[in-house]
A and B are shown apart, each in its own frame.
Chain A
Amino acid sequence: MAAIDIKRVGKTYVGNVNAVSDISISIADGEFIVLVGPSGCGKSTLLRMVAGLETITDGTVSIGARVVNEIEPAERDIAMVFQNYALYPHMSVYDNLAYGLRNRGTPKAEIDARVAEAARMLELQPYLTRKPRALSGGQRQRVAMGRAIVRNPAAFLFDEPLSNLDAKLRVTMRGEIKQLQKRLGTTSIYVTHDQLEAMTLADRLVVLNGGSIEQIGAPLEVYHKPASTFVASFIGSPAMNLVKASIANGVISIGDRESGLRADLPNGALTLGLRAEDLRLAENGAGFPFAIAFVEDLGAQRLLHGHCSGQSVVVAVSPDLPLPSELRLTIAQERLHFFASDTGKRIETTSF
């Protein structure tokens, strides 16, 4: 149990390649932090710097009250779960779990007790004598988790632990990880590129892009108030619609058409964010005209892909709703998101 403090951390590889720059996150004791972002955004590099598998070029990482920049991974009191499990193939499940404890000179009786406890928690008791190759993907993942648990570390570090599993198992394991973390109360950092995993697991999300932080916040806060167009398009499924718009005297136009929506913002171009699930089909001639290109039926909802003034827009509607031949869209005023058209940053507004 410990807080983790990441202060102005940066990583520059040979040849001046900047993987991560100027990242500061302070993680409270017992908190579940998810680092999320597209491939190459530096999320794994950041995690590996916390783990000590990658040297830190700038800034400091502290676990507990201790700065760990120059400390070996084994001495940092952390446990890591790898994407491909990284189980020792020639050792039985028991030995895989016990190996880290043995290296620390833990007494045999205590190793036995801790392994038994972890095996019970993860329902691995029947497999303790098996080799990893005789286990299924989900069981291997559990062993990898068990290896982290037995050590009883100050922090868990997860590096995309579920991406090798099939979709169904991923959902189950996601739930198990969440429960386990709540029960043990161990500070955790979890890396993923899957926004759904990030939303469901995190106490706080850290959205990374191009080696720096786009936004830190609770999942719903990030969802409802994305700090930039990048976050807006990355978090939430289907992604938020981003359309080019302009304001003249408080009236919003999309393309060259007035939308009938108003905003208390200075005149000029901006990017308008519209969540697919916030858009409604309007009745009797009001609203903005919408031309359907194709329809995706997902069962629980129906996604209408189409265009408004030549810009592509996705609308999520109930599958029971009849589709009239001529569609018009409306949206509640307070559901609008505004972003600067040049920087992509969010513009706060008191829309009326």
Chain B
Amino acid sequence: MVEHRPFLKLLSHLVLILGVVIVAFPVYVAFIASTHKTTDFITGIMPVLPGSDFWSTYKTVLFTGLAASGAPPIGLMLGNSLIMALAISIGKIAISILSAYAIVYFRFPFRQLAFWIIFVTLMLPVEVRIVPTFKVVADLGMLNSYAGLSIPLIASATATFLFRQFFLTVPDELLEAARVDGAGPLKFFKDILLPLSRTNIAALFVILFIYGWNQYLWPLIVTTDSAHYTVVMGIKRMSDVTDAEPQWNLVMAVAILAMLPPVLVVIFMQRLFVKGLVETEK
């Protein structure tokens, strides 16, 4: 928008405000719901103003847990989610940066084939290969374990592809200068490529952390022991009670709490994240 046209300015603001409302309203409703008593929902009409039970609801969720619905205390579930999300994002970054390094900088037989095989797996989301993956994980005895939760989700074509694209933009002379300076392949990777990829790693970490945190279907399938429930699937279990009214206020409180860690990650890593997306520092 080059010119100052009041009408356009008004219109663009309206569109943006509309967007924010659409995104934020469900979150608002969830928060409102978490401040009311369970009985308030039986009428079928959602209140739109905060109720008086904020403290008691969150106290119940945080410290007593939901004995009625068979879910563990939220602290445990948040911890499980955190472990899974960290394992997935760190594992994905470590594996994909190494495989991208191999693909870009080493000449080995079937290099191109290796790249295309990795690339093709992009077209297979977790859901498509979930049955064979479950079979493998079950046979390896990894059900109900952190390994079972995270390892099958670690292999990542997307991250490999991103790192490959970044490595291709690093000038060849840098590698040659390092060779003349006596840096072997691992030293070059550690001293030069890794520091240069810092912002890319940060950006990827944010995306992958949220990806890992929001995993729903996979944890639901591989965990039957409540000690390994993650918070996202915990919400599902809590609202899925038989012969009783779900305690919506508690469910919503858990949902609000489950949203906080990804939000914190985004806020604290935003500076690096944006830098990683826009900066081309070479």
Q: Check if B195 sits within 8 Å of A90, measured CB to CB.
A: yes
Assuming the contacts A88-B192, A89-B282, A90-B195, asked whether A74 and B173 have C-beta atoms less than 8 A apart, the reply is no
Q: Check if B195 sits within 8 Å of A73, measured CB to CB.
A: no
Q: How far is the CA of A83 from the CA of B174 in the complex (A)?
A: 11
Q: Check if A73 sits within 8 Å of B179, measured CB to CB.
A: yes
Q: Check if A74 sits within 8 Å of B174, measured CB to CB.
A: no
Q: Check if B187 sits within 8 Å of A86, measured CB to CB.
A: no
Q: Check if B176 sits within 8 Å of A53, measured CB to CB.
A: yes
Q: How far is the CA of A249 from the CA of B103 in the complex (A)?
A: 70
Q: Check if B179 sits within 8 Å of A53, measured CB to CB.
A: yes
Q: How far is the CA of A307 from the CA of B250 in the complex (A)?
A: 97
Give the interface residue-count category, chain A: 20 to 34
Q: Check if B192 sits within 8 Å of A80, measured CB to CB.
A: no
**Complex interface residues of chain A between 71 and 107 (CB less than 8 A to chain B):** 72-74, 78-80, 82-84, 86-90, 99-100, 103-104
B194, chain A: closest CB distance, angstroms: 10
Judge if B142 is at the interface, Cβ distance under 8 Å: no
Q: How far is the CA of A86 from the CA of B176 in the complex (A)?
A: 8
Q: How far is the CA of A72 from the CA of B178 in the complex (A)?
A: 12
Judge if B180 is at the interface, Cβ distance under 8 Å: yes
Q: Check if A79 sits within 8 Å of B281, measured CB to CB.
A: no
Judge if A51 is at the interface, Cβ distance under 8 Å: yes
B282's nearest neighbour on chain A, judged by CB, is A89
Q: Check if B196 sits within 8 Å of A100, measured CB to CB.
A: no
Q: Check if B182 sits within 8 Å of A88, measured CB to CB.
A: no
Judge if B26 is at the interface, Cβ distance under 8 Å: no
Q: Check if B174 sits within 8 Å of A86, measured CB to CB.
A: yes
Judge if A130 is at the interface, Cβ distance under 8 Å: no
B281's nearest neighbour on chain A, judged by CB, is A89
Assuming the contacts A89-B282, A133-B281, asked whether A84 and B171 have C-beta atoms less than 8 A apart, the reply is yes
**Complex interface residues of chain A between 130 and 160 (CB less than 8 A to chain B):** 133, 147
A99's nearest neighbour on chain B, judged by CB, is B181
Q: Check if A86 sits within 8 Å of B171, measured CB to CB.
A: yes
A144's nearest neighbour on chain B, judged by CB, is B177
**Option from A51, A89, A133 in Cβ contact (under 8 Å) with B180:** A51
Q: A74-B183, A83-B173, A99-B181 are in contact. List 20 more A-B contacts (CB 8 A).
A: A51-B176, A53-B180, A72-B179, A73-B176, A74-B180, A79-B180, A80-B176, A82-B173, A86-B176, A89-B196, A90-B195, A99-B178, A99-B183, A99-B191, A100-B181, A100-B182, A103-B181, A103-B182, A103-B183, A133-B281
What are the 10 tightest A-B residue pairs by CB atom distance, in nearest-first order? A74-B182, A100-B181, A86-B173, A103-B182, A86-B177, A90-B195, A82-B173, A73-B180, A73-B179, A80-B180
